[in-house]
Amino acid sequence: MPLLEPQPGALRPHPSAGHAPSGDRVPDSRADGTPQPLRGDLERLLGPGKVLWKVSDLVRYASDASPYRFVPQVVVLAEDLDDVSAVLSYARGNGRDVVFRAAGTSLNGQAQGEDILVDVRQHWVGTEVLDDEGKRMRILPGTTVFRANAALAPYGRLLGPDPASAIACTVGGVVANNASGMTAGTTRNSYRTVASLTAVLPSGTVVDTAEPDADETLAHAEPALCEGLMALKEEIESDPDLVARIRAKYELKNTNGYRLDAFLDGDSPVSILRGLMVGSEGTLGFLSEVVFDTLPLNRLTSTGLLFFPTLSAAAAAVPLFNEAGALSVELMDGNTLRASVSVQGVPQDWAELPKETTALLVEFRSPDEKAREESERAAREVVSGLDLVAPVPSVTNEFTRDAGTIASYWKARKAFVTAVGGSRPSGTTLITEDFAVPPSRLAEACEALLELQERHGFDAAVAGHAAHGNLHFLLAFDAALPEDVERYAAFMDEFCRLTVERFDGSLKAEHATGRNIAPFLELEWGERATELMWRVKRLFDPEGVLAPRVVLDRDPKAHLRGLKSIPQVEAVADPCIECGFCEPTCPSEDLTTTPRQRIVLRREMMRQAPTSPVNDSLLDSYGYDAVDTCAGDSTCKIACPVGIDTGAMMKDFRHARHSGREERAAARAAKNFAAVERSARLAVAAADQVRKRLRGRNGDLGDRLLEKATAGVRRAVRPDLVPEWLPEIPGAAAKRLPATDRASAAAVYYPACVNRIFGDPDGHEGPSLPEAMVIVSARAGRPVWIPEDVTGTCCATIWHSKGYDSGNALMANRIVEAAWRWTDGGELPLVVDASSCTLGIAHEVVPYLTPANAKLHDRLTVVDSLVWAADELLPRLTVEHRIDSAVLHPTCSMRHLGDEDHLRRVAEACAEEVVVPLDAGCCAFAGDRGMLHKELTLSATAREAEEVNARPYDAYLSANRTCEIGMDFATGGPGYRSVVLELERATRPR
């Protein structure tokens, strides 16, 4: 047994008294995961690495952003078209069904299946601009909309669809659901802007609609499909009333059912197929790639957040802004505005807004300054005739060009679902619905909806794309209570009738039919059109292999099946609505679990009896999959609209697993950190000598011996505590820090312990980082002073990230007391040369300080070396030597601190070309976690490393030593170093 064995049983939930297992818990019979022969069949067919079968895998894929929960029998990680075709063939031959899942941000259960679930996100990421002007882009389905737009930005182009979940939702899902968003309306959505697509049909036939001979090829492979499509086209076109009805239905935003206008817009089987695949929700085939016609970005923006006394007054202003040329007009009612205060950056006085207050977020985008001035003139003309109110001090009712202010407006609007959902009563399930009515009847529809919600006992909240008559609303209820489910069912019946019979509206404007509206499809479309949709499904999928019950379902209560209970979990995670916004930022996304999945698994533990076989199995996996492989970088908190910090929860779990012996050892290490630091530096120096002596004669023998030695210690002590040797680990730092003068110092310079232990990368010539900081600061006339007693102090992140509370508290208070003394009570700024340590001292130590030290901390000014270099040094320096190119790695700590722009500013002073990889993210090295679990760093950096290695650069820059080591490990060791080193070199006098 390891010397310091964790206590996994400490993570076992302890429900409150009287707790009974939930009715929708995973049954004990599924504790062993995927049954045979299914598991064995798929492993033989695809290879074991592509088949996820543990019950923890099945549970984490069972939830998405919808109110539904269906546990699959197996999850397949499809890598290519061959895998997809093989799974479809297996399903057809064995009477099974298949659901494709990418980001899992869909709101109506489209990404959930009860049999074979195929993950088409991880291995399906990539973009290709197809012309010099960026007017067309080929995109793989697992690519997020945000990532695709980032690649288009240099061309001044973007995609037409712009859903609020763009940071997380994937292009495949957007096209499959015909999701639109704030500006897309009916003219910029996927149906209108997809130039071509490649689809894998249930039969395995692959159709590229862009191929010149696509119709001929399809006719040869699928004659019955081609004949059937053309027969349906002829039948529809022979009925003038049906044609008129179809055209009328798509004058509004409408994603309910299949796109019947594809038969009117297409003139051949392939062109009809292209139209039908958009919005088909994975029920007709798999979209393996899509080519978009892109749109002008129009970078010049003017945006106003305007407040009205009533909903009716706001709705009346919508057509005026439409006529003035606004690209988007977004509505938020009073309850939405008040709930938005949970979003960081939203003024807190919005909580005091009267219930009747309604806001419109209006945006104009222009290609040039002349057009922007004309848009602003038109906007002012509209505003001058409006009855606006300013019920709280933060309301200004003005249009602005300021990018930061505009971003804050949109953050509040896009967080509608998560902000309102996050404030729902604990333990309730969230339903998100959207519908559309003629824009002229917007106010009437809003008022009718609010009255209906209140009458059925739901808290009313409405927001939406007012320019297009598209409204969204949320319902929260306890799916474990039959009476709550009955109340929800009664509401849905009346809501659907209201929308169709009173407004002739669309029951699904942009979220697609899904499971929630499938029973009401015929109510909206009528018997004739609905039967046509069933015939379309049978043409494409005669054996019913793909996504049964997602779009078409004759069961009138199908929308009540699979509703998930939401058991209460740890307070930090309890507001989670499982939206998935956090997932693209998570370093372990492609390795083990994501923040959402960590919470989903925890909720399943709470559904179970504490000692059930399922709980035992979940706990067996949770230690590594969730706790150990969490980088603890908390970028999930940044991505989450309500700031859920799953990283903090995992640190709490690490603490819970510690034995008393382990906690005491960590506290002793903190108390005696000066000796620990010296020992660590000596160990690194000794290892470096061994490596260098053996490397020259025996290649990498030295590294192999060191890896073997550390592996033995890891087994003896505990793998999650003892770092593994990596060849990219640099040599030791110098024994002594540079001598400096206190009297003339403009700042106190604190070299972080990582820079006191590790030296610069192999091959670096010139001063060390501490020397460079001293030199370049003096050169700028802003000299710094290094205290003589820094040894033995630390930012406390080492203990904080591992969940050692006593050691963390000891070191947190020690560094604050020392910094107070060094800076003369906060008179001088404290400059820190590692971004993670800056974050630690500036923010993360605060909860662990004594009341007296908290007061001292309030007086300190903690400055990252990046900020010091950009704001204090760069304006006072002359750049003498510029390199041609540099690639940057912004760290997760920089994101928390808001310092990424400072890294770029310093780098741009030193290099002619500065590149931040589109796939840059947390390297997951996380202090030493990359040495504890190197597979985590390799997974987290895979796409960024591929992008970096695609071409050479003259410099590889960051500002955190362990992250630089991690990026060297990921990229093969080009020599990442601090941007301060490059600034010193660039400003050396000739």
Indicate if the alpha-carbon torsion angle 551, 556, 558, 560 is positive or negative: positive
Residue linked to tokens 């362990």? 962
Q: How far apart are CA 51 and CA 33, in angstroms?
A: 11
Average pLDDT over residues 417-439: 86
Burial (CB < 10 A; 0-12, 13-18, 19+), residue 557, is: exposed
DSSP letter string over 102-129?
Answer: SS---SSSTT--SSEEEE-STT---EEE
Q: Is the pLDDT of residue 422 over 80?
A: no
Q: Over 278-289, what HEC string results?
A: CCCCCCCCEEEE
How far apart (Å, rounded) are the C-alpha atoms in residues 978 and 957? Answer: 6
Secondary structure class of 641 (helix, strand, coil): coil
In the numeric block, which tokens belong to residue 383?
A: 């505003």
- CA nearest 168: which of 509, 585, 465? 585
| Residue 18 confidence class, pLDDT cut points 50, 70, 90 | low
Q: Is the pLDDT of residue 721 over 80?
A: no
What is the rounded distance in angstroms from the CA atom of residue 541 to the CA atom of residue 638?
Answer: 42
Which pair of tokens denotes residue 397? Answer: 């009712």
Enclosing H/E stretch for 750: strand 747-750
Residue (of 652, 649, 643) closest to 575 by Cα position: 643
The answer to whether the beta carbons of residues 984 and 767 sit under 8 Å apart is yes
- Does the pLDDT of residue 1 top 60, yes or no? no
Quote the CA–CA distance of 833 and 981 in Å, as a whole number: 11
pLDDT at 707: 81
DSSP for residue 170: B
pLDDT higher than 70, residue 2: no
Is 861 or 439 the better-scoring residue by pLDDT? 861
Question: Residue 109: phi, psi to the nearest 5?
Answer: 80, 15
**Dihedral angle, C-alpha 10, 12, 15, 21, nearest 10 °:** -170
- So what's the pLDDT on residue 717? 75
Split at pLDDT 50, 70, 90, the class of 769 is very high
Across the range 238-244, mean pLDDT stands at 97
Cis preceding linkage at 37, omega within 30: yes
Indicate the pLDDT class of residue 723, thresholds 50, 70 and 90.
confident
The closest alpha carbon to 622, from 653, 643, 652, belongs to 653
State yes or no: pLDDT of 695 exceeds 80. no
- Please say whether the beta carbons of 106 and 554 come within 8 A: no
Say what angle helices 81-94 and 38-46 make with each other, to 10 degrees.
150
Buried b (16+ CB within 10 A) or exposed e, 157-180: bbbbbbbbbbbbbbbbbbbbbbbb
pLDDT tier at 20, thresholds 50, 70, 90: confident
Name all domains of the chain by residue range, CATH numbers in brackets: 1-30+567-637 (no CATH), 300-511 (3.40.462.10)
Secondary structure element (H or E) that encloses residue 517, with its range: helix 514-517
Instruction: Enumerate the H helices of 860-899 as residue ranges.
Output: 865-867, 892-897
Owner of token pair 């393996």:
288
Report the interhelical angle of 805-822 vs 660-671 (nearest 10°). Answer: 20
149: pLDDT strictly greater than 70: yes
pLDDT > 70 fraction of the chain, expressed in percent and rounded:
98
Per the CB < 8 A criterion, the answer to whether 869 and 902 are in contact is yes
Average pLDDT, the chain: 94
Give the pLDDT band (50/70/90) at residue 336.
Answer: confident
Tell whether the model's pLDDT for residue 702 goes beyond 90.
no
Task: Find residue 306's DSSP bridge partners.
Answer: 360
Residue 15 banded pLDDT, cuts 50, 70, 90: low
Tens digit of each residue's pLDDT (9 = 90 or more) over 363-397: 999 999 999 999 999 999 999 999 999 999 999 99
Mean pLDDT score, 623-644: 93
Q: What is the pLDDT of residue 687?
A: 85
Segment 1-18 shows an average pLDDT of 71
pLDDT of the residue at 700: 74
pTM above the 0.85 mark? yes
Whether pLDDT at 698 is above 60: no
pLDDT one-digit tens code per residue, 570-621: 999 999 999 999 999 999 999 999 999 999 999 999 999 988 999 999 999 9
Longest dimension (CA), the chain: 92
d(CA 259, CA 290): 18
Inter-residue contact 173 to 121 (CB < 8 Å): no
DSSP 356-416: T-EEEEEEEEESSHHHHHHHHHHHHHHHHTS-----STT----EE--HHHHHHHHHHHHTH
Please state the rounded mean pLDDT for residues 743-754: 97
